[in-house]
Structure formats: C-alpha cells, structure tokens
Chain A
C-alpha cells in the first residue's frame, strides 16, 4: 500500500507529461518550423529542430505582413470594446432589475449562442452588400462581436448576480442614479468577469476566419487568419513565412495564458467560450 502511494504520483506525472507532449507538439512544431527555410520545410524529412536556424521568415513577415498584423489587432480590440459596450449594461439590467421578459431574454441569448456563424455570414454578406459594409472594419467587427455578445452577457450577469446587494442599496440611498450606480459601483466590483469577457472577445475577433473570409473580398482589410489562408490557397512556396505568421497568430493566446491565466480558466469553466 505504502509503495503504491509513493508510485502513483510518479506514474500520474509521467502520463501527464506524455499527454502534454502530444497536446503541445503542434505548437512546438510551428515554432520550430518558423526558423526553417522553405527547402527544409518541404524537403524529404521532418526536422525536430531547425537544422540551420534562420530569422529570414520573421523578416519577411515584418516587412510584408505588418499591416495585416495591425489589422488583426484593430479587429480584436474593436471587437472587445464593442462587445463590452453592448453586453455590460445588458448584464447589469438583467442581473439587477426584474423585467417580465428577463426569462425570455436569457433564453434567447442561449439560443443565439447556438446559431452557426456560417448562417449569419451568408445573410450578412447580402445585407452588407446593400449597406456598403463589405470590406470595412465596422462591418467585420459588428459581425465578429456575434461570437462573444451572448456569452459575455450571460457570464457577466451570472457574476453580477453574486454581488452583495447592500452595497448597491447604499449607493442608491446616497442618491446615485441608475447609471451612476452601474458605472461607479457595479463595474469596478465586476472587474474580474469583465477582464475574462474582454480577453475572450479579443481572441474571437483576432482569430475569426468565417466572417473575414465572407465579408472581406478585397485587400483593403486583411487580418492574418486570411493571410495564412491565402498562403494555403495559392500553394505558395513561402511556407516558412506562413509559419512565422502563424506564430504571430498564436502569440496573444500565449501571452494571455502567461499573464492572465486565472481569467482564462474562469472563462472556460463558465462554459461555451468560442463560436
């Protein structure tokens, strides 16, 4: 028994290590690949380490893809801002006030979470054509927010339901308006839920592909997901640059995991996070 106790952690640890090695291998492979030349990437055998590490791919990406990286950043940040602007007041109202329609609204948000993006994209393409919103940041960001708005309202509302009621009452007694209470009391207290939602809505905008593919058809706006796809589409020889660009594409997720891990974990546990 004693021996078994001592060995269980060891076996569990080794098993976890093997599982992690498999799970993380694709990430390792893209990083290694980004330091290889095209002839190495498309040669006769796979290299577990770059034979002759080179920064050439990163140089190519910075000189030719800089504007696309900026585009993705703009889209991610704008998606997060728009999502928060729409969902925070709604979450507050649904948590704080009793409306006859609350149950109906929450149920319809749950249904909205289920709707496939391709359905939305197909319709929005035609509607945007009419509204001249194709190939524009506002059009794309409005569509990208659809990944995160229902989720954000539900998550932040759930958090706000747990706020102590007496603090909110005190603010009311002090003569704060509904809006004042929301801005000065509720929002600061809900900070952790707001950060979670902001991070995920950023990731949704940053990583979106369906809306970028369908609602952008020129080169005015091109996020990096679309650039990476274009590398595939034309069977471009420059796989190395695509690898380096893919490393840029996974950077935000990596940085968030390092800097804001508990918010990410919280978001995952609450439920559906990605569209």
Chain B
C-alpha cells in the first residue's frame, strides 16, 4: 500500500495545486464581481456622496463638489412637490398592487379551469409584460387622448359618459390613467406566478375539504390561499419593487404633469437632476427612494432562503 507523500515538499506541492485550483475557481467570479462594483456598488456610494455635496452644472466636470451637509435633503424634502410625490408613490404602489393582485389572481383561477384555447389564452396574457414600458405609455397616451381616443369613444358608444373626458388634462384623471396603465402591464406577472402556484396545489387537499363539506369559497380561503401563500408573498414583494420605481410610463403618459400631479419619486428625482440640473437634490431624493426600495430587501432575501442554502 502506497502512502501519500508526506513531509514539507509534497505538502507544498499540494498546497500549490489546491491554491491554483481555488484561484481558477474564483476567476469565474471576477467579471461578475467587477460588474457588480461598477454598476451597483459604485453608483450607490457615489449617489450617497453626491447627496451631501453642493453640486452645480459646473461641478459635474470635477466628479467631486464642496461638502453641503444635509442641505440637499432639507431642500428636497421640504419641497411641496417632493412631499406629494412621496405620498403619491405610496398610494400608487398600494393601489397598483391591490388591483394587480385581484385581477391577476382572478385570471389565474380562471386559467386553472378547463376550457377550450386555455393554453393559447395563457400565452397571450404575457404580452403586456414583454412590451417596452415606454411604448406601453405611448400607446396608452393615444388610447386616453381627449379627441379620437379609444377610451372616450368606447365609453360614449356604451352611453356610460355623455361628454369626452380629458384624462391626461386633469390632475385626478391623469393619476388614474397612469394607475390603469401600470395595472395593465403588471397583471401578467401576477397571473403567471399565481397560476403556476395554483397548478402546484395538490388536488387531494381540495378533494378532502370538499368531502368535509367545504364549498368552493371555503376551499379557496382555507386550502388554496394558505398553500400558495409563499408565492403570494413573492409577487407582492416583487410587485412593490417594480412599482415603487415606476418611471417610463409616467414620462411617456404625462411627464409628471399636469402641474406635477403625477410626479412619483423616481420621476421627480429625474426632474431635479436632469431638468433642473440640481444633481445633489436629485441624489438626495434617490437616496430616499433607495431606502424605501430596500425596506423589502430582508423579506425578499428570506423568501429566497432556499437558493441561499443550496450549493
């Protein structure tokens, strides 16, 4: 029986080989590591720095500007537009998620039934999610236009309204229009995830509940919902993440107007930085947006704990 070479020389060689192998393995991570630094770590840190600086269009050439303390935060957060954008983003997110869930879950339950062309319908339902968001906003702007708009035309043809409504011209309606657009593009995401969750509910569970005398509603509330709860949590967390940073559809539908009535945090931060050239103020508001988005990070990580553990 041959023994493994012992002693310093052999061990050194083994060490060298395993160190080489470890380096080779780490090399696979280098591009991704550099990219994460470039696209996420540096921008977040730099955004934080910018938010504490006294920036002007001229200072942009220098990468760093004089220290400003909390001036940008005070200036931005005391603005009426910022405050209403913060509250609006909150109500917009809650309303979007509620409607996306109700419609998405309804469609998921529908697709869970057997009917002709079910598969075709399920594949078409994804379409709104795949379109570029900016294009979606552009199309809805056309549908909701005052004259020759499809929505006014249809509602008038159905005698639901007697005069056309200026959806994009009045603050309240403009908000509703952005909301409808966002619900439209988000419904597929909810439908597809909830549908696949429903498919995984063991039929025996429902059968057992039926035998125990439960009606369809009780089955839904007592059996189905508890079973698919993890997926419901995931869609709400991801839905929150998507909605809280909504940008493209607002810019293409209303550009934040009329009179800033549809400004959300992301669009107002863009406005501060790129239209008023106050990068410091924009960065301060971006930091607030970042904190709000990161509120769900612990939940999101917990929901993905399986993928953390494996490997």
Interface residue ranges, A against B (CB under 8 Å): 8-10, 12-13, 15-17, 19-20, 23-27, 29-30, 33, 40-48, 85-87, 89-90, 92-95, 97-99, 102-103, 105-127, 129-130, 142-143, 145-146, 149-150, 153-154, 157-158, 161, 177-179, 182, 203, 206-210, 213-214, 225, 228-229, 231-233, 239, 242-243, 246, 249-250, 253-254, 256-257, 261, 264-265, 268-269, 271-274
Taking the closest CB of chain B, its distance from the CB of A18, in whole angstroms, is: 10
Which of B9-17, B42-50, B90-98 lies at the interface with chain A?
A: B42-50
The verdict on A209 contacting B238 (CB below 8 Å), with A23-B184, A41-B148, A268-B192 known, is: no
**Hey, which chain B residues are within 8 Å of A99, CB to CB?**
25-26, 29
A207 to B133, CA, bound (A): 7
Q: Which of B26, B28, B126 has the most CB of A within 10 A?
A: B28
Interface residues of chain A: helix, strand, loop or mixed (majority): helix
Q: Are B28 and A89 closer than 8 Å at their CB atoms?
A: yes
Give the contacts of B162-191 with A (CB-CB under 8 A): 184, 187-189
Q: Is the CB of A143 within 8 A of B39?
A: yes
Residue among A10, A17, A24, A214 making CB contact with B274, cutoff 8 Å = A214
In the complex, which residue of chain A has the Cβ closest to the Cβ of B31? A86
User: What is the bound-complex CA distance between A15 and B152, given in angstroms?
Assistant: 23
In the complex the two chains form, is A210's CB within 8 Å of B132's CB? no
Give 11 new A-B contacts, CB below 8 A, not counting A89-B31, A146-B40: A23-B188, A44-B148, A46-B150, A113-B241, A115-B293, A209-B247, A246-B139, A250-B135, A253-B131, A272-B242, A274-B129
B107: Cβ under 8 A from any A Cβ: yes
Shortest Cβ gap from A153 to chain B (Å)? 6
Q: Is the CB of B241 within 8 A of A207?
A: no
State which of B79-87, B204-212, B222-230, B299-307 sits at the interface with chain A. Answer: B299-307
Q: Which residues of B contact A119 (CB under 8 A)?
A: 43-44, 47, 269, 286-287, 289-290
A250 touching B132, Cβ below 8 Å = yes
Contacting residues, chain A, for B221 (C-beta < 8 A): none
Which of B110, B135, B244 is in CB contact (< 8 Å) with A207? B135
Q: Do A118 and B300 have beta carbons less than 8 Å apart? A: no
CA distance A90 to B238 in the complex (A): 23
Query: Do A24 and B124 touch (CB < 8 A)?
Result: yes
Q: Mark B1-30, 1 if CB is under 8 A from A, else 0.
A: 000000000000000000001001111110
Residues of B contacting A239 with CB < 8 Å? 142
Q: How far is the CA of A265 from the CA of B120 in the complex (A)?
A: 12
Question: Chain B contact residues (Cβ within 8 angstroms of A): what range?
Answer: 35 or more
Closest to A182 in B: B28
Which residue of chain B has its CB nearest to the CB of A17?
B121
Which B-chain residue is minimally distant from A149 (CB atoms)?
Answer: B35
Pull 5 A–B residue pairs with CB atoms less than 8 Å apart, ordered by A: A16-B107, A24-B127, A145-B39, A209-B247, A261-B123
Is the pair A26, B132 in contact by a Cβ cutoff of 8 Å? Answer: no
Contact with A along B25-63 (1 / 0, CB 8 A): 111110111011011101110110010000000001101
Write the nearest CB–CB distance from B12 to chain A, whole angstroms: 22
Contact of A203 among B39, B115, B130 (CB under 8 A): B130
Tell me, yes or no, whether B266 is within 8 Å of chain A by CB: yes
User: A127 to nearest B CB, angstroms?
Assistant: 7
Cβ contacts under 8 Å, A120 to chain B: 39-40, 43-44
> Does B140 count as interface, using CB distance less than 8 angstroms?
yes
Chain B contacts of A105 at CB under 8 A?
29
Of the candidates A124, A157, A249, which one forms a contact with B132 in the assembled complex, judged by CB atoms under 8 Å apart? A249
The CA-CA distance from A129 to B274 in the complex, in Å, is 13
Confirm or deny: B258 has a beta carbon within 8 angstroms of a beta carbon on chain A: no
User: Which residue in B140, B279, B311 is a CB contact (below 8 Å) of A26?
Assistant: B140
Within the complex, the shortest CB–CB distance from A108 to chain B, in Å, comes to 7
- Contact present for B139 and A30 (CB under 8 Å): yes
* B307 near A158: Cβ-Cβ < 8 Å: yes
Question: B279 touches which one: A46, A48, A110, A122 (CB < 8 A)?
Answer: A122
Q: Does A94 contact B311, Cβ atoms closer than 8 Å? A: yes
On whether A86 and B114 interact (CB within 8 A), knowing A97-B25, A118-B269, the answer reads no
Closest B residue to A158 by beta carbon equals B307
Instruction: Among A20, A108, A273, A274, point to the contact of B124 (Cβ < 8 A).
Output: A20
Q: Residue on A with the closest CB to B113?
A: A12
**CB <8 Å contact, A29 and B286:** no
